[in-house]
């Protein structure tokens, strides 16, 4: 399928978050107030832990790839992705109500609205954490690892339960600029196995359908792993890959397009719950690789 886009693994990353705290490049370890800047070759990346641990900038050879602004960049979606229907989910016999921040639903988790702590950082990698707290009803910890190379960035997220088990999801919501200012708009290329049929309320109906042409605000299944390619003709190709099979594509805005690898579909806390337990954390990873076309 082509319309004007690719990300990496969601496999076992055990032990990747247990490294000792190291001094960081920008700011003090253990604090959340200062941005962390990473560099590898001509790739430069900035993370703002105080602002939901979002990537606020990704520059390749001086060219910015992410839409700028408080709501944009690339933010982690955790402990759920996309919409929860009416903001409600069940865990066994308990029903929980999340804040309805996108009426009539709750959207994109609480992590993007939380100050994270910088656990460690060096010149090209950093780790961040925050503790799950109200309005999320279960104790736990979320960790994000960012690893930059000259031709790639890998993002890894883990969700751990503090005591009781709970359903959770994790993923990323990058806002890639539609146009880099030097040529044609971006093209998105991917071959999904199916599309989740979307109801008028933007909640998946539960039916899998043949993929439809865009524009999209839709979830797709890629059973062999997320594999989407973004091409800015004559400028850059960026591939988004992940072992996870779920990706949301959103290209209805003029300024940017979104390719969102995630551990389950929208409303998945209700329809496809993945339990996080004290001995079985949720872990997901995505890698973006790029090459210049000029």
247 band by pLDDT with thresholds 50, 70 and 90: very high
- Preceding peptide of 236 cis, ω within 30°: no
pTM: 0.89
For residue 8, is pLDDT > 80?
no
Of 198, 127, 195, nearest to 158 by C-alpha is: 127
CA dist., res. 90 & res. 262, Å (int): 20
Decide: 2 and 251 in contact? Cβ < 8 Å.
Answer: no
What does the pLDDT average to over 115-125? 97
Please tell me the predicted confidence (pLDDT) of residue 5: 33
- Please provide the average confidence, as pLDDT, over all residues in the chain: 91
For residue 12, is pLDDT > 50?
no
Supply the DSSP symbol for 196: E
Three-class SS state of 179: coil
For residue 14, is pLDDT > 80?
no
């Amino acid at each position: 399928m082509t319309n004007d886009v690719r990300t990496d693994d969601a496999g076992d990353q055990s032990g990747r978050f247990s490294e000792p705290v190291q001094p960081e490049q920008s700011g003090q370890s253990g604090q959340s107030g200062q941005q962390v800047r990473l560099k590898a070759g001509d790739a430069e990346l900035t993370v703002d832990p105080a602002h939901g641990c979002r990537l606020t900038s990704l520059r390749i050879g001086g060219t910015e790839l992410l839409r700028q602004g408080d709501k944009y960049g690339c933010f982690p979606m955790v402990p759920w992705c996309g919409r929860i229907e009416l903001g409600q989910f069940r865990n066994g016999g308990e029903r929980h109500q999340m804040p309805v921040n996108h009426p009539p639903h709750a959207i994109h988790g609480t992590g993007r609205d939380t100050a994270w702590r910088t656990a460690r950082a060096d010149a090209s990698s950093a780790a961040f954490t925050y503790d799950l707290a109200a309005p999320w009803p279960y104790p736990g910890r979320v960790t994000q690892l960012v690893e930059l190379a000259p031709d790639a960035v890998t993002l890894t997220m883990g969700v751990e339960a503090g005591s009781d088990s709970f359903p959770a999801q994790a993923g990323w919501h990058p806002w890639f600029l539609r146009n880099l200012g030097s040529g044609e708009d971006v093209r998105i290329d991917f071959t999904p196995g199916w599309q989740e049929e979307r109801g008028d309320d933007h909640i998946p109906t539960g039916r899998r359908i043949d993929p439809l042409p865009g524009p999209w605000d839709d979830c797709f299944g890629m059973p062999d792993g997320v594999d989407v390619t973004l091409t800015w003709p004559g400028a850059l190709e960026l591939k988004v890959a992940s072992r996870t099979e779920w990706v949301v594509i959103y290209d209805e805005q003029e300024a940017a397009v979104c390719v969102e690898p995630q551990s389950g579909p929208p409303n998945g806390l209700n329809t496809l719950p993945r339990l996080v337990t004290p001995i079985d954390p949720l872990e997901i990873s995505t890698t973006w690789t790029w090459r210049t076309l000029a």
